[in-house]
Amino acid sequence: MADTSVTTLRKRITAAIEVHEKWEADNDVQRCYDYYIGKQLVNPLDQYNRPRIQINKIHPEVRNNIPSLYYYRPFARLTPAPEQLDDPGTEIEKDTQLLQDTANHLLRDPSTSFRESTFIGLKEAHWAFGCVEVGYSAEFADAPNADRPPLKEKKDTKIPKVATEGDTHTMPDGSVMPNAEMAAPATPVAPPAPGMDAMGLSVDAGSDTASIEAEVEALKSQLRREVFFVKHIPAKQVLISTSDKPILENNDWVGYWEDVSLEDVKKSEAYKNTKDLKACTGDGKSEMDRQKDVERAESEGSPDSVRLYKLWDLRTRTRYVLAAGHDKLLLEKPYKRCPLKFLRFDVDPYHFFPRPLILSKLGPQDEYNKSREWLSLVRDGIVPRYTYDSDAMEAMDMKKLESGEMGTYVPRKSGSTNPVEPIQQPSYSENALQTLTLSDKEFADVGGVGSDPKIAASKTATQAKIAETKSQVQDSFDRLLVAEWLSDIVKELTSLAIENMSLDRWVAINVVPQSQFTMQIEQDVQMRFARINANLLADSSKGINWDVQIDLESISPVSEEEKFQK
């Protein structure tokens, strides 16, 4: 029998899928993406089985728009509250500087996937919206960059068992010992000698940087299970409650679904009730359909998949994870902040999902393709055609004129005038060019993506200046939206670091071992990092008001040029 909470959550998911499908249908989301990748013609071949002309203007416009919004790797600047910054004897500025250095390290760490995930989200925001999940987890079921077990593709694929706390180990003499005791040291570790650390390295004032460097490297080697990640969530997988309000926190819940390997879910230590979990990538499937999915996956050599629904209840601050076709919850735990961060350029005042930027370009794109196809037909249809006087010339003589050779001559009867005359044909070239020019102008006028560089079309210099100013304001506004989105992501990474990251990781990130001031570095390590522990940082995160801002100059060279012009 299914859990009552699972039944309720499934009803929510079904209703949310309907909300998402209605948004996709009303805003032609799939068509926007198809036009971006170049699938713009209903009938790509004409009646003669020749390809019709298609000039994709949307893809290059999106591609040209992205560098002005997200060119460089962003730089996060953390600023403390002004009312606390000027207090005498406070260390808030040093603490904030430490947080800023750590935040910029995390967003530049390749394992975090900050750049890749946010860049894809920005691109997807042109035909839908951008969404990323920011998290801290050592579980491969959550973090895409965590260590994952081998992939099981066949029934006979052997997967090594992950040792857990309750497992046992057989000793060579036949006795059985728990793994917990196996991991425990046989004898207590003696305290380090004066002037030596736990590794036996000297830490006195006269030691060189090799001691500190070795210690930092040892710290870094111990940090493999501390995983910060920024994970891109495709827009088609995002779900929102039926409240469907434009502000995220005003809704009842938010979440997304994803298809993951069944073995990954079963091997994860974060999930429970996975013993009877079976492969299924959608609710409402019968047992026969599920068995067919399993057989198909095994025959094709692909892993079994299960669809997980990850939901965040914005009312009760509870996170749920459930699987399609499974009657028990895999996860239920409280959370502090919603980890999903959204980039929406054109927010609908009445709905959560935005209006795609490309949507306004679809009509002019169709008109441009039709105009270009018509121009091609006119060009191919208007070819030189002639008539000749059969009494004046023979047909075999006309064949000589078709050869096109220099100095060709043919006989004609005397008394005949104009034996060969061109056929008068109507010309549509001018109309075709006008239509093509008009559709091109309409494509630039509708806006939505980037700005129109052809400001010279304005009649006066004043109008051109006003148009240029409006274009710069629109570009600056879009860059500001992207910067705020990135700021929210960095702020969440910093908050997770304050709450979860160990002291060793803070030291490994912020200490530079290759320094000639060895003694000063040691003193700084002792004095500055001695007060940095989980409790102190957690208290400071509540008591110190700090904010994250992304320098616009760090993500776009255009903003630097605009500042220079001003």
Q: What is the pLDDT along the chain (566 residues), one digit of tens a residue?
A: 445 589 999 999 999 999 999 999 999 999 999 999 999 998 888 888 888 989 999 999 999 889 888 888 888 888 876 655 555 555 667 767 777 888 888 888 888 999 999 999 999 999 999 999 999 876 666 776 666 666 655 555 555 554 444 444 444 445 544 444 443 444 444 555 555 554 454 555 455 555 555 655 555 554 445 689 999 999 999 999 999 999 999 999 999 999 988 888 888 888 999 888 888 876 555 556 556 655 655 554 456 789 999 999 999 999 999 999 899 999 999 999 999 999 999 999 999 999 999 999 999 999 999 888 888 887 777 777 888 888 888 888 888 877 777 878 888 888 777 888 888 777 766 777 888 888 888 888 777 676 554 444 445 666 666 666 666 666 788 888 999 999 999 999 988 887 877 656 655 666 665 556 555 655 554 455 444 444 444 454 554 467 788 877 777 766 555 555 55
Q: Are 490 and 99 in contact (CB under 8 A)?
A: no
- The token pair that represents 371 in the structure block: 């105009």
Contact 254, 353 (CB under 8 A): no
Distance CA 531, CA 413 (A): 113
Cα 564 to Cα 76, 90, 451, 553, 557: the distances in Å are 22, 37, 20, 11, 11
Residues 485, 134: Cα–Cα separation, whole Å: 12
CA angle 374, 380, 382 (to 5 degrees): 100
- Choose among 19, 22, 16, 41: nearest CA to 31: 41
CA of residue 329 relative to chain centroid, distance:
28
Cα angle: 370, vertex 373, 378; to 5 degrees = 125
Ramachandran assignment for 38, one of left (phi > 0), alpha (psi -120 to 50 degrees), beta (any other): left
429 secondary structure, DSSP code = H
Q: Which residue, 438, 403, 429, 256, is CA-closest to 338? A: 256
User: What counts of helices (H) and strands (E) characterise the chain?
Assistant: 18, 14
What are the residues whose beta carbons fall under 8 Å from the beta carbon of 445, sequence distance 6 or more?
Answer: 452
Measuring CA to CA, which residue among 101, 127, 74 is closest to residue 480? 74
pLDDT value of position 461: 67
> Which is it for strands 168-170 and 76-80: parallel, antiparallel or unpaired?
unpaired
Cα–Cα nearest to 544, from 78, 79, 76, 81: 81
* Bridge partners, residue 340, by sequence: 133
Q: What does each C-alpha distance from 503 to 78, 102, 451, 521, 525 come to in angstroms?
A: 20, 12, 48, 16, 11
Token duo for residue 432:
């075709």
pLDDT in tens, 65-117: 898 888 888 888 888 766 555 555 556 677 677 778 888 888 888 889 999 99
Nearest one of 265, 270, 268 to 280, comparing CA atoms: 265
- What is the pLDDT at residue 525? 45
Q: Which residues of 155-191 are buried (b: 16+ CB within 10 A; e: fewer)?
A: eeeeeeeeeeeeeeeeeeeeeeeeeeeeeeeeeeeee
The three state secondary structure string of 175-226 is CEEEHHHHHCCCCCCCCCCCCECCCCCECCCCCCHHHHHHHHHHHHHCCCCC
Given a contact cutoff of 8 angstroms between Cβ atoms, the answer to whether 329 and 5 are in contact is yes
**Residue 385 contacts residue 422 (beta carbons within 8 Å):** yes
The candidate with the shortest Cα–Cα distance to 103, out of 482, 491, 481, is 491
b/e 57-87 (16+ beta carbons within 10 angstroms → b): bbeebbeebbebbbeeebbbbbebeeeeeee
* CA atoms in the 13 A half-sphere facing the CB of 522: 20
Residue pair 514/209 in contact (Cβ under 8 Å)? The answer is yes
> What pLDDT score was predicted for residue 159?
53
